[in-house]
Amino acid sequence: MRYLGGGESHGPSLTAIVEGLPAGLELSAEQINRHLARRQRGFGRGERMKLEQDRVRFLSGLRFNRTLGSPLTLQICNRDWENWSRVMAPEGERPAEAAALTCPRPGHADLAGAMKYGERDLRPILERASARETALRVAVGSVARVLLEHFGFAFYSRVLSIGPVKAAEEDEGWIDRYRQVEDSPVRCSDPRAEAAMMEAIREARERGDTLGGVFEVVVTGVIPGLGSHVHWDRRLDGRLAGALMSIQAVKGVEIGIGFAGAGIPGSQAHDPLVYRSGKGVERPSNRAGGLEGGITNGQPVVLRAAMKPLPTLGKPLPSVDLRDGSPAPAARERSDVCAVPAAAVVAEAVIAWELAVAFREKFPGDYLAELEAAVAFHRRQVGRILLQNSD
């Protein structure tokens, strides 16, 4: 499986072509639109979320709600294009209102992108570097999610901290109360922390500042044996970490107990193996986060990511005008005060995509029934190993 996406933040639309889906998978726009709407929610989002109402449109690869096995083309139109059609026009003369942006924002792709592409005008850089692009990744990841959910995978996310406010530590029991997370304005499973997070966001908005935080994604029902230990670029833990790091503003990733494992002895860092009659080999804990040796081990995949505060500030940091080197405040674009809850939803999507790619590597096939047969055979083989049954 692979996909290629295109589109600018204020261009006409975002478009992706997805290749490698099996024929016969039931798929609808509503399955994708539900997650696009989840991405747009969250306390601390900017004004654009009120303008855009993201909806996907299928342009190829689907007939009567079933995939054809050919490339699936997705499109999300930008409603804000109406206000930017002259500034972002693909052709024609440059209008006066399309003045060059020349004061880069510290912490943004503005200056690095300008140096890479030889531009003093930052508009071409920020249009593609913008997190608006994640709407397309949620759409593509939602397609992958539909495939994996057909085979029993389930995806969950929550926010662990925003700014200085941390949620109370709790184990996987929060998944049983997942509706509470979905209803929370900050995707938090701790009601007391939720209120404090929202207050921290309000205070940051009043200061013209922004806040980051940490979120967690858990995937259950994961089939063991996805990924591989035989080459570095096939290790699924590395691929999942890379997918999370590709989300705008994410600066740190951990799997399982992650960084905490660096400060404890090995006897406390790993998951013992036990044999239970009738159930086979089990792990009573999940410190590994569902991955060992770059391969899924059948336990829930647990990942966390740290998101820095967004670089577009209400009170901009000092910057430099690239036209003459003079001091100037950084450019100010419409942005969010806090996007951590939305980033958690984006993370579900990018993880779903990477797991689906590994799934298709393990279970190739042109149509859905082929995959179902291959997965059933694999599950029987795994059962024989875990139950010590040679029959």
Mean pLDDT for 321-343 is: 92
Task: Note the pLDDT of residue 97.
Answer: 84
Task: Note the pLDDT of residue 51.
Answer: 66
Whether 58 has a pLDDT exceeding 70, the answer reads yes
Mean pLDDT for 368-378 is: 98
Whole-angstrom distance, CA of residue 113 vs CA of residue 98: 19
Phi, psi of 388 (to 5 degrees): 55, 40
Model confidence at 50, pLDDT cuts 50, 70, 90, reads: low
Model confidence at 85, pLDDT cuts 50, 70, 90, reads: very high
Task: Note the pLDDT of residue 230.
Answer: 96
Task: Note the pLDDT of residue 140.
Answer: 98
Task: Note the pLDDT of residue 214.
Answer: 98
Mean pLDDT for 361-376 is: 98
- Give the tens place of pLDDT for each residue, 273-312: 999 988 899 999 999 999 999 999 999 999 999 999 999 9
Task: Note the pLDDT of residue 169.
Answer: 84
Mean pLDDT for 347-363 is: 98
Task: Note the pLDDT of residue 47.
Answer: 65
Model confidence at 3, pLDDT cuts 50, 70, 90, reads: very high
Whether 337 has a pLDDT exceeding 60, the answer reads yes
Whether 98 has a pLDDT exceeding 90, the answer reads no
Task: Note the pLDDT of residue 387.
Answer: 85
Whether 217 has a pLDDT exceeding 70, the answer reads yes
Contacts 24+ apart (CB under 8 A), 66-71: 66/23, 66/24, 66/25, 66/26, 66/27, 67/21, 67/22, 67/23, 67/24, 67/25, 67/27, 68/23, 69/21, 69/22, 69/23, 69/24, 69/366, 69/367, 71/17, 71/18, 71/19
Among 1-10, 87-96, 138-147, 171-180, the minimum mean pLDDT is found in 171-180
Whole-angstrom distance, CA of residue 260 vs CA of residue 381: 34
Q: What share of the chain in percent tops pLDDT 90?
A: 89
Question: Given the structure tokens 């950084």, which residue do they identify?
Answer: 330
pTM of the model: 0.95
Q: What share of the chain in percent tops pLDDT 70?
A: 97
In one-letter notation, the amino acid at residue 35 is H
Task: Note the pLDDT of residue 44.
Answer: 86
Task: Note the pLDDT of residue 277.
Answer: 86
Q: Locate the domains of the chain by residue range.
A: 2-386
**CB of 45 within 8 A of CB of 54?**
no
Among 5-9, 81-85, 226-230, 238-242, the minimum mean pLDDT is found in 81-85
Model confidence at 334, pLDDT cuts 50, 70, 90, reads: confident
Average pLDDT, the chain: 94
Mean pLDDT for 372-379 is: 97
Whether 391 has a pLDDT exceeding 70, the answer reads no
Whether 170 has a pLDDT exceeding 60, the answer reads yes
Whether 49 has a pLDDT exceeding 80, the answer reads no
Give domain 2-386's CATH architecture. Answer: 4-Layer Sandwich (3.60)
**CB of 103 within 8 A of CB of 320?**
yes
In one-letter notation, the amino acid at residue 251 is K
